[in-house]
A and B are shown apart, each in its own frame.
Chain A
Amino acid sequence: MTSKFSVIGQRVHNIDGTEKVTGSAKYTFDVVLPNMLYGKILRSPHPHAKILKIDTRQAKKLIGVKAVVTGKDTLGRKQGIWRRFPELCDEEILCRAKTRYIGDPVAAVAAIDEDTAEEALDLIEVEYEPLPAVFDPLEAIKEDAPQVHDGVELNININRHIEWGDVDEAFRKCDHIREDQFKCSSQAHVCMETHDAVASFGHNGKLTVWTSTQSSYYIQRLYADMLDMRESDIRVMNRHTGGGFGSKFELDSAQFCAAILSQKLCQPVKIVLTREEEFTATKRRTPMYYFLKLGAKKDGTLLAKEARVITEGGAYTAMGATALYLTGFFSSFPYKFPNYRYDGYRVYTNTEPSSAMRGFGAPQSTFCGESQLDMMAEDLGIDPIELRRKNGMTPDYEVPGQAFIQSCGLHQCLDKIEETIEKRGKLPPNHGIGVASYGFMSGGIFNWFNTPYAFSAAVVRINIDGKADVFTGACDIGQGSNTTLAMICAEELGIKLEDVRVFSGDTGICPPDLGAWGSRQTLMSGNAVKRAAAECKSQIMEFAAAKMGVNIVYDLDIKDGWIHIVNRPERGVSYYDIVKGAIRGKDGVAIMGRGHYTPHRKGMISPAYSFGVQAAEVAVDVETGRYKLVNVTTAHESGTVINPVGIEGQLEGAIMMAGGYGYCEDQPMDEGKILNPSIADYKLIRSLDMPETEILEIDTYEPEGPFGAKEAGEGLTNPTAGAIGNAVYKAVGVRINDLPITPEKVFKALKEKEKKKKAK
């Protein structure tokens, strides 16, 4: 089949590929500036404590130490992403009076090298008065629980309610109702590049920052709030970034402390968090207690669902408030519930704050929801895929009062997965295949950050040689957005991918963009780039039409650098020649186009949604409970596929991360102390544990997306834990409702099952 596209859908090298395979890609971790100092951060060893006194005199005397700062050196402001609600901006970063978790920063040092800075930390004396602390949200909501933040009733940081239909009435009409409880564990992002920043204040009072971030714009704006500066006096640049996964779009301790230190010294200060700090003192996936009630008719029609969720917020709001909202919305996904109710509570505790992580609340809701759906299917005696088919979303569906689904390929995905399962035939003993469906948003519509800018914006400039430069605030954190955006630009202009350069994530030269989170860049930044390129194209076409002298009824287009009449492609002129002439004709002014995108009238959540179905096969050893992930096959639809190599990478990577969430990743704590803060102790999927992966791409077209494209980043993280849980049940008949589904839990459940059998 010949594609109507020239660039889109091609298997290309990422535009930064050669840098990455030769070691020449520069990360913040690699930035070295003249006169640069190295910083380290002192952190609270107590989960909850009053700071009585900090004595930095000895530390300051150490040779090589240039500055020591504490909360007293800050303006005492508090940061938060939910800027529209001041009470939710609750994180000082450098604590002044009180610390709220083990790892809360209390002081920072800048010295000539890291060793000296580290040594100085030992010389800082902090007098604490430990306070009673609370670690579990179910404890924290009790009347007499310790208060994490003053004046917050029952430690409830925020609550969300979503409702449509008449839920109580609908439950009365159900033939069968299930109520189940689940527990979703914590998960660490484990970006291979830890959080880091090089902050440099000049004597002119301007701040320049190199940092590993998902949103240069957010960091710039949050700095402006915290330092009381004008945002244009702050330049934030994301270089190559060694992963983000949701952990890198709030102002973090490396960024803030480096800036405070640099402000004192007018010297660049570099702070790189250690792997231990990365585990204990950044953010993590939100642990949740889930209570689900699901009601159905005998024929499998799902009439009503109710979800009640209590999340472990940790010490600060962070992006956890958004996770609370999204887990509630996505708990209804991807099904047509006529009646639905959600009540979610995010509770402060004295633990590392929980926040955004790839999937943003949806992996939790999908694990619980898809597990319960399989139980319901069994109760009703209906095939699990059939139950999903009967209730699954379809194109042009409105989630009552919430969202409009335009493209939706869920049913094709179900068919495809059913086919592959059938093809596999009879499985060996103790093997099982579990299925889970999912959906996710292509960027959020909400603006709790309160940006006055367009959500995405881009500028495209055409140079004299016909090459295009894209300027975008989007951040490439490894997901390949620069390549995707370059492909969109090339396609729109009808030029080659090599003809496009991308300048991204630099607030000094790029228009603001909210950044890489909520799976928003392909659709939102992509639309902005496409429009900017289209504006350039129309300017070029004016010159081309004048030169060609064509009848006005004819359409002109560009393909492969050839400007031509659409119906008579052989009649045309070279794009490159026209550009040269056009720029001369404009008195030497380069051709520029601007584009932006902000969703309007698209519901409350997102302008578009991706869908998919995943089947996981496990092989369980009934003697030990150990099991192996054998194969994970995913039928996925994300609209037009812009960059197929990129999507495959997203999918396989998501399985590593989401499989880990289902299978082994966890952060056990003792009195607020994370017990496994190293890669050696934090178990994650390595190459030997990685299952075979297969991807079945389903063709859909999203009218809202650039060239019909939508998200392919986070949605893929949603189904795997649920599919694993269902697979284990299929294999050996035990159901684990709390994550991760470890061999120990499976073993225990098998023993229990045996005991029950014997008792009969």
Chain B
Amino acid sequence: MKKELKLKVNGQPYELYIKPKTLLVQVLRDHVGLTGTKRGCNDSSCGACTIMLNGMAVKSCSILALQANGCEVVTVEGLAKGNKLSPLQRAFLDHGSYQCGFCTPGMLMSSTALLAENPKPTKEEIKEGIDGNICRCTGYNSIIRAVTAVVKGEYKEAK
């Protein structure tokens, strides 16, 4: 029996009919068609599926889509404003904070949520902020450098 799901994704309202046990990650990828959000495990241990739910970083494989009913979701596709990349996206580019890029959407969402909550995190807090995200390629330090550069104000929000 399908159920109705209403949610906003990157500011756009959606009304969908889904099987109740559908995970949020599936809805975003398969129903809404935003494949930027990745899936690396499906048991909330890798962080590749991290999105922002009402401003908080959440692993979208760890909740049913219906639990997000009425909520606002931001995915990696929602970070840039039009053709202007967000400060973190630009910092990731400059610092080579991605290689294969499969963890990158999740890393960006975890760090975006971290800075939204705590604009001046210490290095240790940055590490904690992305500790739920596995990256098998970069060794994390370039990601930490990118976030640090944003914290230091080296990247301004694009007008």
Using a CB–CB cutoff of 8 Å, the interface residues on chain A facing chain B are: 13-14, 16-27, 29-30, 189-194, 240-243, 245, 274-275, 477-480, 645-646, 648-649, 651-657, 678-680, 684, 686-688, 690, 692-693
Contact = CB atoms under 8 A, between A and B. Distances in A.
Interface stretch (B1-9, B91-99, B148-156): B91-99
B119 interface: no
A20 B79 CA distance: 13
A21 B100 CA distance: 11
A21 B93 contact: yes
A619 to B, nearest CB: 16
Contacts of B36: 22-24
A646 B96 contact: yes
Given A645-B96, A652-B138, A690-B140, A193 B102 contact: yes
Interface in B125-139: 127-128, 130-139
B102 A243 contact: yes
Interface in B41-92: 41-43, 45-46, 48, 75-77, 79-80, 85, 89, 92
B104 A18 contact: no
Nearest to A192: B102
B108 interface: yes
Interface of B: 29, 34-43, 45-46, 48, 75-77, 79-80, 85, 89, 92-96, 98-105, 108, 127-128, 130-144
Interface of B is mostly: loop
B74 to A, nearest CB: 11
B93 A22 contact: no
Nearest to B86: A21
B79 A22 contact: yes
B85 A687 contact: no
A649 B136 contact: no
B136 A686 contact: no
A19 B94 CA distance: 14
B85 to A, nearest CB: 7
A686 B99 CA distance: 16
A686 B75 contact: no
Contacts of A241: 100
Contacts of B40: 192-194, 275, 679
B45 A191 contact: no
A14 B92 CA distance: 11
A219 B128 CA distance: 40
29 contacts: A16-B101, A18-B85, A20-B101, A21-B85, A21-B93, A22-B36, A23-B75, A25-B101, A29-B39, A191-B136, A193-B40, A274-B42, A275-B42, A478-B99, A478-B100, A478-B137, A645-B95, A645-B96, A649-B99, A649-B138, A649-B139, A651-B139, A652-B139, A653-B99, A653-B136, A656-B136, A687-B140, A688-B128, A690-B139
A686 B79 contact: no
A191 to B, nearest CB: 6
A690 B134 contact: no
Given A23-B77, A652-B142, A678-B45, A687 B130 contact: yes
Contact of A26 (B35, B37, B94, B108): B35
A241 B101 CA distance: 8
A21 B108 contact: yes
A195 to B, nearest CB: 13
Given A14-B98, A23-B76, A23-B77, 7 more contacts: A14-B96, A17-B93, A192-B135, A478-B99, A655-B139, A678-B41, A687-B131
B96 A679 contact: no
Nearest to B94: A13
Contact of B101 (A478, A684, A692, A693): A478
B140 A656 contact: yes
B93 A653 contact: no
B131 A242 contact: no
Instruction: Give the residue among B98, B132, B141 with the most A Cβ atoms within 10 A.
Output: B141
A684 B96 contact: no
Contact of B127 (A29, A479, A684, A687): A687
A136 B37 CA distance: 41
B42 A192 contact: no
B43 A680 contact: yes
B137 A653 contact: yes
A19 B85 CA distance: 11
Given A22-B76, A656-B139, A480 B89 contact: no
Q: Which 8 A-B pairs have the closest CB atoms?
A: A23-B36, A478-B100, A242-B102, A20-B101, A652-B139, A23-B76, A645-B96, A656-B139
A22 B85 contact: yes
Given A18-B93, A21-B104, A275 B43 contact: yes
Instruction: Give the residue among A191, A242, A684, A692 with the most B Cβ atoms within 10 A.
Output: A242
Nearest to B91: A21
Contacts of B75: 23
